[in-house]
Amino acid sequence: MEPRVAYLWLIPALPLLAAGVGCVAPRNGRRLAAGAAIAAMLGALVLSCFALHLALADPSAHLVYNFRWFDLGNGAVRLGLLLDPLNGLMCVMVSLVGLLIFIFSLGYMDADENFTRFFCFLSLFAAAMLCVVVANSLLLLFIGWELVGLASYLLIGFWFHRPAAAAAAKKAFITTRIGDLGFLLGLVWLYDTTGSLLLYDGGNGVLESHVLGDLATQVLAGGLAASTAIGLLIFCGAVGKSGQFPLHVWLPDAMEGPTPVSALIHAATMVAAGVFLMARIFPLAAADQGLAAAPVHVLTVVAGIGAVTALMGAAIAVAQHDLKRILAFSTVSQLGYMMLALGVGSWVAAIFHLLTHAFFKALLFLGAGSVIHAAHHEQDIRNLGGLRSPMRATYATFSVGMMALTGVPFVFSGFWSKEAILHAASEWNVSHLPLYAGLAGVVLTAFYMTRLLCEVFWGAPRSPAAAHAHESPAVMTVPLVVLAVGAVALGFLGTPAWPWLQSQLTGEAVPAHSLLEGGGLMALSIVLVATGLGAGWALYGRRLRATAGADDPLAAAAPRLFAFLGARMKLDELYAATVGRLNTFAAALAVILDRWVWGGAVGFLARFGEFTGSVNRGVDEGGLNAGFDSISERIRGAGRAYSRAQTGETHGYLRALAVAFVVLALLALLGGGQ
Amino acid sequence: MTAVLALIALATIGTAAAAMTRRSLLHSVLLLTGSWVGVAAFYLWAGAEFAAFAQVLIYVGAISMALLFAVLLTRRSREDFAPGPASRGRALYAILAGAALAGVLLAAIARGSLAVAPSPVPTVTVRQLGGQLMGPHAASLLVVGVLLTVALIGAVVLAAGTGPGKPGDAP
Amino acid sequence: MSSVPLLSLIIFVPWAGALLLASLPRLGAPASRVLALAFSLSTLVLALAALGSFDCASTGYQFVERHGWIGALNSDYHLGLDGLSLLLVLLTGLLAPACMLASWRNIPDPRFFGLLFLLLQGAALGVFLALDFFHWFIFWELSLIPAYFLIKLWGGPRAAHAAYQFVIYTIGGSAFLLLGFVAIFAATGTLDFVRLASLGANGALGAKLATLGSFWPHAVFLGVFLGFAVKVPLFPFHTWLPPAYAEAPTGVSMFLTGVMSKMGVYGFLRLLWPLFPGPLHAASVPLVWLALGGAVLGAFAAMRQTDLKRMIAYSSVNHVSYCLLALFAVSSATGRSGLTSEAAAAALSGTLLQMFNHGLSAAALFYCVGVLETRAGGRRDLGGFGGVQTAAPVFAGLCGIAMFSSLGLPGLNGFVGEFLIFRGVWGLVPWAAAVACLGLFATAFFLITFWQRVFHGPRAGAASAEFADLGRLDLAVLSPLIALMVILGVLPQLQTMLFNPLITMWANHLNLP
Amino acid sequence: MSPLQLCVAFSSVLFAVGLTGALARSNSILVLLGIELMLNAANLNFIAFWRYSPAPSPATGVIFVIFAIAVAAAETAVGLALVISIYRHQRNIRLQEATRLKG
């Protein structure tokens, strides 16, 4: 139990405090909220650097600080904080990128009257994300995870008065919620089998050897290992949050939120949380590798989903017209790459790509933000164009980001991290499909980025808004420059020649090997990048589109394919048709069940009650009363008849007496006899 | 012994029958008193002197007097006594009833086995009767006493008239 | 036996208030409101006093009051308080004043309203504290009468029918309950819960009932079960709930959802489970299915509701069904060896937390709908609003917190209960937890849809005109509830320390009699 | 014919005569007379059976007769008082018209 790790909780606490200040601050307390947010992020960044420094002191150690949340039954529910190189790096990345984006949004959101609320939500998001990063207990991670989902809901729906934003926010929350349910079930299953959710707990943490051992050996029906099932369930959460194949539909719609939000959440940090989670529980995911007989391995599924997402994201990005949606699909594709890297067994490559991606994708988004800001919220690339000369700084930094993303060799970080992934994919013994998907992705990425660049920056402005766009203020361009430097510098941390990052993350020294050793694959990828750039330039660079209405060269070449990709492969309609309709059917069923079956039963009982009531009244009045009445009537009649005998005639009485006496006597005489 | 009995019986029945058939009330009452004397004689014959004495004292003495008073008090007009046509049918019916009754009773007696050994006339002294009355029958003696007084008062109240008017006027 | 009869005070102070209000017919409206509120607050004060001297470690009953009452039935006036009852008394103490404040304005005859409400409150407290069937059942039935009049006299347009169905349905159920306990008394000769529980634990109760005839143990179990199932309500018996909660005035529906439904669950935990562990274990699988039905179909039905109050009523059915799901899962695990006691402890703790937390969040949501209703002139259909967040940001903020707590967002109190329930139910009946996830998804779906349709989007419907933000009174009602939601979300230890020893004891000896 | 049979026959005939008289005459007083006769016939029987009973010592028969006589006296007194009040009311004492007590 490392005492210094105890102060680790300060990192998420500072932004949370800023969020508190933000929401308490009055609407016009703009300076207060923004100042608090930025100060908090700065503080978090400083603390993260300390933490990273502490973690790097002994890269293989997992410094842990566990504490009791509340007692339950004989034991207690315990949470914990964890510090190791992975956490340290993520903390630094999140807080650095967050800080830059906060500064950027000072300028971007300046005109918005809900400025304070924006910074409050941003700080809330940063706090939640940092909580996910520092968590040693999957439960604490899950709490941060859901709060990140809440923050993204609030931020996507920041301009809630626009129905589209509201719908996007709802879609994002629901889709990620579906993934989170899988995560919850995995969590609960893990908690039940191992009795604790702490990752590292002095030997009996979830990721520690002997617990993992029996998790892997515990075989369920169908030969599936318990760890596989749990791993897959947790992967559902990652799929939801990181926008992987089945649950990626919310990410493009999330672009409804302000651009700094897209940059921070839907490029750098939140979507990366899924990858971070899988990297965090990599030992658990890899636990079933040993079981040859197991029908499915977690990592194979991850690799498969990653490859599919990478390819699909890149393909759809080619046919989009909205500036931010192109970048969104590019993010989906890059996340696919990271998942692919995880799947093929090298979580270090995934994290390396995550870090580099965070910087250049944030750069691209902020660049797009400054473009949109300058062009009065015009996002359609067909209406932009010719922004190269008026917005020189944005153009320069944007092109640095574009080259980093496409993986222009040697200089840019994207190249090295993508190279590491492709290298890992090539060494994967299960199948080479992910490798081919990756390579295809490289080409497509290069193509759509050049298309974007040509459409937005080259040629002549195609709309009045684009015409008098002017360069964004310094407060927006300075973060761009810093990110551009990061996009370049970060690559050199993990080159094969000097694998500093890999050794820090894995904890043991990774042998440096010369560039040439994996040369073949590297050469192939360089060629592919070149072809992508060339094709993009050929189609969009040479003959620049003159007017907004001019149709897209690619659309002319393959109209139906272009339309299909433009419509995001019609996945939204597919989901609406299947899940949507199932949902409404279930709801209708529930209501019908309630009204007719249970309500009907109660109604029947009520009517049955009424029926018995009326029968009872009928029987009661018709049968009993009437019976009594008639009997009493008859008795009265008889009474009246007898009374006529009382004539008042004394003689009559005497006579009757005499006659009666005689009759009796006769009877006694004749009848008796004995 | 039975000759005397028969004689007494014939006398009593005769006077009784005559009493019932006489037209005039006074005669009926007097004849009836005669039959009461016959009955007293029978008591004597049977040996119950005290009973005979009581019979004579009460019936012949008191009740006949009461009857006479009643007859005298209620004889306002002569026509009361003319038996209306309705009484003809009634008389016939009455005789029929009486004869039937007598026939039945006599038949019962004839068939009944009332044979009894000849026994001397039992004597009962007044001391014995007193002892009996004051012994087991003391209660009934008192009751009879009360009965008599109540009857007396009742008779006086009834007869003395219901309203303030003088006796004899219509209510 | 503390000197002052604390538990009797808790029960009878509200009734004394009711009596006082009854005896002052000409009392003015403001005075009667203040008086009613004061007496309603007394429960909270006394409950905190009880909390003060409550010994968290002991699992037995505390502040026990026992006086001989009816020799013939050998039932005596027996009150007791353990972790479970204290939690519910605290919940009633919190919610009752809030409900009273919620019906501060637009309630025509506050004196009579206060009178009936205090009567209802006292009866509810009686149910949580009584430990002898005789006066427990009096409190149980007595709570219905004021509830009927509260709904009928101050309710919405179709309140009469709803109140009628509510009361007849519940009384029908408790008739079986009464029959069951008459049979129990006939068999065992005692009505005291503690003795009955000890009989039930070692199966003697079942044996004694069997002496009356082989058919009796099952019949009594079914009777008692039906009485509670209708009250909770368990899935098929819940059709009375949406109309009753929808037509009731805001304050009353807050109390109904917050406290009255908990009486049913309390009945399950206090009576049905300890007395009939065997039959409950035998019937546990179908019961789990019923609870799942309630959770999943309740949430899906809520999706289709256009009336906001009915929607929240269905969400109450959903949440309460989770409590029952946990209990039935625990009862199905009775007697099974292995690591179940840990899971059972989690499930039971989750049930109790869920009861308390749902009370808070459902009451807050009902109040928010009440706010929407008053500002929209009585209309509360989903389509009738739009853009309320722009019109009333503070209201949107607080209602948002209440909604997310009800949705089970971590960091707020709803999550802790639900997580523990899922943790427990997975350990005991894994497939049930998987199916219950559908309920979670559906709850998230309809709540977020409600939020989107009412708060988001351009200002429309009732919000297009002037739409006042929260006033001081609304804040007085909502802020304590919201504060509690956040505090209990971060520090559930405040709740679990009260009842943890109790549920551990329950979970440890899940032996099948 | 044993003497007891004679006595009983004698009282029966007397009784029959009394009955006939009561039925035949429409005058109330005569009806009363008839009743008196019937009573005397009954007393006759008492004494007759007393006379021929095996154990005459307790003389219950005689005592009975005494009581019977007393009762008969009371009955006659009341009867006559009734007759007089009927007479006052009805101006005549014909029994057939005294039907005010009709049922």
CA angle C11, C29, C255 (to 5 degrees): 40
- Residue window 527-566, chain A: list those with CB within 8 Å of chain B: none
Asked whether the beta carbons of residue A658 and residue B105 sit closer than 8 angstroms, the reply is: no
Alpha-carbon dihedral of residues A78, A81, A82, A83, nearest 10 degrees?
-160
Asked whether the beta carbons of residue A658 and residue B101 sit closer than 8 angstroms, the reply is: yes
A652 touches chain B (CB under 8 A): no
**Average pLDDT, integer, range A135-146:** 92
Query: B143 or A215: which carries more pLDDT confidence?
Result: B143
For an interface test with C, give the residue of A188, A250, A256, A598 to mutate (most C CBs within 10 A). Answer: A188
Q: Which has the minimum average pLDDT: A93-102, A237-246, A498-507?
A: A498-507
Which residues of chain D neighbour A648 with C-beta distances below 8 Å?
98-103
- Nearest by CB to residue B132, choosing from D23, D59, D88, is D59
Question: Is the model's pLDDT at B80 over the cut of 60?
Answer: no
Asked if residues C398 and C479 have their Cβ atoms less than 8 Å apart, the reply is yes
The whole-chain average pLDDT of chain B stands at 81
Pairing outcome for strands A75-83 and A63-72: antiparallel
On the 0-12 / 13-18 / 19+ scale of CB atoms within 10 A, A59 is middle
Question: Is the model's pLDDT at C92 over the cut of 90?
Answer: yes
Asked whether the beta carbons of residue B101 and residue A661 sit closer than 8 angstroms, the reply is: yes
Asked whether the beta carbons of residue C456 and residue A181 sit closer than 8 angstroms, the reply is: no
Closest CA to B42 of B51, B29, B33, B31: B51
- Alpha-carbon A331 to chain mean position: 15
Q: How far apart are CA D53 and CA C25, in angstroms?
A: 92
Nearest chain B residue to A661 by CA: give it: B101
CATH number at residue D44: 1.10.287.3510
- Alpha-carbon C124 to chain mean position: 10
Is position D33 within any domain?
yes
What pLDDT sits at residue C141? 92
Q: Which domain holds residue D17?
A: 3-97
For an interface test with D, give the residue of A643, A644, A647, A651 to mutate (most D CBs within 10 A). Answer: A651
In sequence order, the 6+-apart residues with CB closer than 8 A to the CB of A423 are A349, A496, A518, A521
Question: Is the model's pLDDT at B169 over the cut of 50?
Answer: no
pLDDT bucket at A672, cuts 50 / 70 / 90: low
Which residues of chain A neighbour D102 with C-beta distances below 8 Å?
646-648
**Average pLDDT, integer, range B53-75:** 87
Smallest CA–CA separation between D50 and chain A, in Å?
Answer: 23
What pLDDT sits at residue C238? 87
List pLDDT tens digits, range A575-623. 888 888 888 898 888 888 888 888 888 888 888 888 888 888 888 888 7
- Nearest by CB to residue C346, choosing from A23, A73, A594, is A73
Which of A286-300, B1-15, C420-434 is the most confident on average? C420-434
What pLDDT sits at residue C1? 45
In sequence order, the 6+-apart residues with CB closer than 8 A to the CB of C94 are C44, C359, C360, C480, C481, C484
Is position D73 within any domain?
yes
For an interface test with D, give the residue of B45, B65, B144 to mutate (most D CBs within 10 A). Answer: B144
User: What's the token pair of residue A218?
Assistant: 């515990």
Q: How many cross-chain Cβ pairs, A to C, lie less than 8 Å apart?
A: 157
pTM score, whole prediction? 0.79
User: What's the token pair of residue C281?
Assistant: 């274990």
Asked whether the beta carbons of residue A655 and residue B97 sit closer than 8 angstroms, the reply is: yes
Query: C313 or A1: which carries more pLDDT confidence?
Result: C313
In sequence order, the 6+-apart residues with CB closer than 8 A to the CB of B57 are none
Which residues of chain C neighbour A191 with C-beta distances below 8 Å?
423, 426
What pLDDT sits at residue A17? 92
For an interface test with A, give the residue of C240, C409, C443, C502 to mutate (most A CBs within 10 A). Answer: C409
Which residues of chain A neighbour B108 with C-beta distances below 8 Å?
665, 668-669
AA letter at B141: L
What pLDDT sits at residue B104? 87
Asked whether the beta carbons of residue B108 and residue A651 sit closer than 8 angstroms, the reply is: no
Cβ neighbour number for residue C340 with a 10 Å cutoff: 22
- Alpha-carbon C122 to chain mean position: 15
Asked if residues A240 and A254 have their Cβ atoms less than 8 Å apart, the reply is no
Is position D85 within any domain?
yes
Query: A28 or A428: which carries more pLDDT confidence?
Result: A428
- Nearest by CB to residue D16, choosing from B35, B101, B161, is B101
Closest CA to C412 of C353, C468, C459, C324: C353
For an interface test with A, give the residue of D20, D25, D102 to mutate (most A CBs within 10 A). Answer: D102
On the 0-12 / 13-18 / 19+ scale of CB atoms within 10 A, A674 is exposed
Chains D and A touch (3+ CB pairs under 8 A): yes
Asked whether the beta carbons of residue D33 and residue B97 sit closer than 8 angstroms, the reply is: no
D97 touches chain B (CB under 8 A): no
**Average pLDDT, integer, range A299-327:** 90
Tell me what ipTM this predicted complex has.
Answer: 0.69
Query: A19 or A520: which carries more pLDDT confidence?
Result: A19
- Report chain D's terminal Cα–Cα distance, integer Å: 47
Cβ neighbour number for residue D92 with a 10 Å cutoff: 16
Q: How far apart are CA A429 and CA A423, in angstroms?
A: 12
Query: Residue A68's beta-bridge partner residues?
Result: A78
Which residues of chain A neighbour D98 with C-beta distances below 8 Å?
648, 650
Q: Show the DSSP H helices in A344-463 as ranges.
A: 347-374, 392-406, 413-426, 433-457
**Average pLDDT, integer, range A205-212:** 81
Q: Phi/psi at A140 (nearest 5 deg)?
A: -60, -40
- Nearest by CB to residue A649, choosing from D19, D22, D99, is D99
Asked whether the beta carbons of residue A644 and residue D103 sit closer than 8 angstroms, the reply is: yes
Residue with tokens 């008239």: B161
Closest CA to C488 of C426, C401, C399: C401
CA angle A501, A423, A430 (to 5 degrees): 120
A592 touches chain C (CB under 8 A): no
What pLDDT sits at residue C326? 93
Q: Phi/psi at A547 (nearest 5 deg)?
A: -120, 165
Element (H, E) at C67: strand C62-70
- Residue window 64-103, chain B: list those with CB within 8 Å of chain A: 90, 93, 97-98, 100-101
3-state class (DSSP) for residue A648: coil
**Average pLDDT, integer, range A168-194:** 91
For an interface test with A, give the residue of C452, C455, C459, C487 to mutate (most A CBs within 10 A). Answer: C452
CA distances from C116 to C36, C96, C370 (A): 10, 12, 20
3-state class (DSSP) for residue A68: strand
List pLDDT tens digits, range D19-59. 888 888 878 888 888 899 999 999 998 888 888 877 777 78
Which residues of chain A neighbour B104 with C-beta distances below 8 Å?
662, 665-666, 669
What pLDDT sits at residue B165? 46
3-state class (DSSP) for residue C60: coil
Question: Is the model's pLDDT at C175 over the cut of 50?
Answer: yes
Residue with tokens 């002139």: C377
For an interface test with A, give the residue of C445, C447, C494 to mutate (most A CBs within 10 A). Answer: C445
Question: Is the model's pLDDT at A48 over the cut of 50?
Answer: yes
List pLDDT tens digits, range A216-227. 777 777 778 888
**Average pLDDT, integer, range A183-204:** 86
- Nearest by CB to residue B94, choosing from D20, D59, D91, is D20
- Residue window 41-100, chain B: list those with CB within 8 Å of chain D: 42-43, 46-48, 50-51, 54-55, 58-59, 62-63, 66-67, 69-71, 73-74, 76-77, 80-81, 83-84, 86-87, 90-91, 93-95, 97-99
3-state class (DSSP) for residue A198: strand
Nearest chain B residue to D79 by CA: give it: B155
Question: Is the model's pLDDT at C512 over the cut of 60?
Answer: no
Asked whether the beta carbons of residue B104 and residue A658 sit closer than 8 angstroms, the reply is: no
Smallest CA–CA separation between D62 and chain A, in Å?
Answer: 26
**Average pLDDT, integer, range A411-422:** 87
- Structural domains counted in chain D: 1
Is position D41 within any domain?
yes
AA letter at A551: D
What pLDDT sits at residue A517? 67
Query: If interface means Cβ-Cβ distance under 8 Å, which residues of chain A face chain D?
Result: 642-651, 654-655, 658
pLDDT bucket at C513, cuts 50 / 70 / 90: very low
Smallest CA–CA separation between D103 and chain B, in Å?
Answer: 22
Q: How far apart are CA C207 and CA C214, in angstroms?
A: 9
DSSP 8-state symbol, A256: G
Q: Phi/psi at A66 (nearest 5 deg)?
A: -105, 145
Which residues of chain A neighbour D26 with C-beta distances below 8 Å?
651
Smallest CA–CA separation between A195 and chain C, in Å?
Answer: 8
The whole-chain average pLDDT of chain C stands at 89
pLDDT bucket at A72, cuts 50 / 70 / 90: confident
List pLDDT tens digits, range A434-488. 899 999 999 999 999 998 888 888 888 888 877 778 888 888 888 899 999 988 8
Q: How many CA atoms lie within 13 A of D35 on its CB side?
A: 23
Smallest CA–CA separation between B135 and chain A, in Å?
Answer: 36
Q: How far apart are CA D28 and CA C472, in angstroms?
A: 106
Nearest chain C residue to A147 by CA: give it: C410
Is position D84 within any domain?
yes
List pLDDT tens digits, range B4-20. 888 888 999 999 988 88
AA letter at B68: L
What pLDDT sits at residue C2? 52
Q: Pick left, alpha or beta for residue A569 (phi over 0 → left; psi -120 to 50 → alpha; otherwise beta).
A: left
Which residues of chain A neighbour C508 with C-beta distances below 8 Å?
74
Residue with tokens 């739409």: C467
3-state class (DSSP) for residue A160: coil
- Residue window 562-581, chain A: list those with CB within 8 Å of chain C: none
